[in-house]
Copies of this chain bind each other. A is one copy, B any other.
Amino acid sequence: MVRTPLTPWERERGERFGALLREARGERSMVEVAAVAGVSAETLRKIETGRAPTPSFFTVVALAFALDLSLDELAAACAPPGDGEHGEQGAALSA
């Protein structure tokens, strides 16, 4: 195997991540936020619904920027339980 398929855990994380974005979007429409971030509405929808569980870094940066979110908070919110601050290795994140 070359490209390890996404684990169920990663897909769950993607759903939580999308829920966070959707919550942060609030009343604004998908197309508006997507336009501000410079991504297509379909992409934003897939990320929000968890069908794109591991979006690209700069896509997330653009969305967080459009939504006034902190990347560190986003990452922390989707991090596995018991996430320390810096010394903890073996995070097994990737993807």
Contacts and interface: CB of A to CB of B under 8 A. Distances in A.
Interface of A: 10, 13, 35-39, 43, 54-62, 64-66, 68, 70-72, 74-75, 78-79, 86, 88-95
A74 B74 CA distance: 14
Contact of A71 (B10, B35, B36, B75): B75
How many copies of this chain sit in the oligomeric assembly? Answer: 2
A39 B94 contact: yes
Q: Report which residue of A39, A70, A95 has the largest number of chain B beta carbons within 10 angstroms of its beta carbon.
A: A95
A45 to B, nearest CB: 14
Contacts of A92: 38
Q: Report which residue of A35, A57, A61 has the largest number of chain B beta carbons within 10 angstroms of its beta carbon.
A: A57
